[in-house]
Amino acid sequence: MDSSRPLALVTGASGGIGYELAALFAEHGHDLVINAEDDRLEHAARRLRESGVEVRAVGADLRSPDGVDHLVAALTGLALDVAALNAGVGQGGAFVDTDPDDDRSVIDLNVTSTVRLAKPLLRDMVDRGVGRLMFTSSVAATMPGSFQSVYNASKSFVQSFAQALQEEVEGTGVTVTSFMPGPTETDFFRRAGMTDTKVGTMPKDDPAQVARQAYDAVMKGRGKLVTGSAKTKAQGVADRVLPDRVKAAVHRRMAEPGTARDDGGR
């Protein structure tokens, strides 16, 4: 990598919010290390190189310890200016019906890999006295996730974890930012098996808009931000005051399997 340019890591960068974040870093002159587990990663890397920056693509499934170790090894000797821990996965359906392996996959990627990656990245940044660490949280972190119970709980973990780290690194020269998108037009809901739900079929936020707001937040050193449309931001405000039981009931109406057919024009 060109040591004269800043360097950014983005996980989950083959599409959606992650790709849009990587594109913004490239646009602003960052060389990139991008990660994903799917075959779209190399295509994303080729597109990003058109910005004139160096891009290293590291294919690794962060749900596995070996995948995390592979990515950490690929970062050896590199001084990251920004690290965006964005990779995540969801799973819809009633908890009693979902496959335990799918539940574990959500925890392994959203929680375990986030912690395992944050440790070496943050240690290096604190040692150097400079760096920006960002987490893709979610407005789901603020509400009980009826019919998305493990996913919402995983994002509550990420949100709490990020805010704790913000306090721990105060005064070190390192900043920690969590951004909280709402439903966004990505592959998330298809992969989560939620195409028959109201939230899976409703209009969603633009990932480029979400990424732009997140990029601005991390570069300004902000602690957290609800990102996306005015509707999503209003939801973030409402979630601060609504009782958990109400939020759980609202989430059920959005995420329960079969609710898509109730959305016909209403």
The band of 264, judged by pLDDT with boundaries at 50, 70 and 90, is very low
Helices 149-168 and 113-128 meet at what angle, rounded to 10? 10
Is the distance from CB of 60 to CB of 41 less than 8 angstroms?
A: no
The band of 75, judged by pLDDT with boundaries at 50, 70 and 90, is very high
Query: In this model, does residue 211 exceed pLDDT 90?
Result: yes
Query: In this model, does residue 109 exceed pLDDT 80?
Result: yes
Q: List pLDDT tens digits, range 225-246.
A: 999 999 999 989 988 899 999 9
Q: List pLDDT tens digits, range 128-161.
A: 999 999 999 999 999 999 999 999 999 999 999 9
Looking at beta carbons, which pairs linking 205-212 to residues 24 or more positions away fall under 8 Å? 205/181, 205/229, 205/232, 207/16, 207/17, 207/19, 207/20, 208/20, 210/17, 210/20, 210/179, 210/181, 210/184, 211/17, 211/20, 211/21, 211/23, 211/24, 212/20, 212/24
Is the distance from CB of 135 to CB of 161 less than 8 angstroms?
A: yes
Instruction: Please state, rounded to an integer, the average pLDDT across all residues of the chain.
Output: 95
pTM of the model: 0.93
Check the CA dihedral 179-183-188-193 and report its sign.
positive
Query: In this model, does residue 187 exceed pLDDT 80?
Result: yes
Is the distance from CB of 87 to CB of 73 less than 8 angstroms?
A: no
Is the distance from CB of 116 to CB of 67 less than 8 angstroms?
A: no
Helix, strand, coil percentages, rounded to 5, for the chain: 50, 15, 35
Q: List pLDDT tens digits, range 31-46.
A: 999 999 999 999 999 9
- Length of the chain (residues): 266
At residue 129, the pLDDT reads 98
Check the CA dihedral 33-34-39-42 and report its sign.
negative
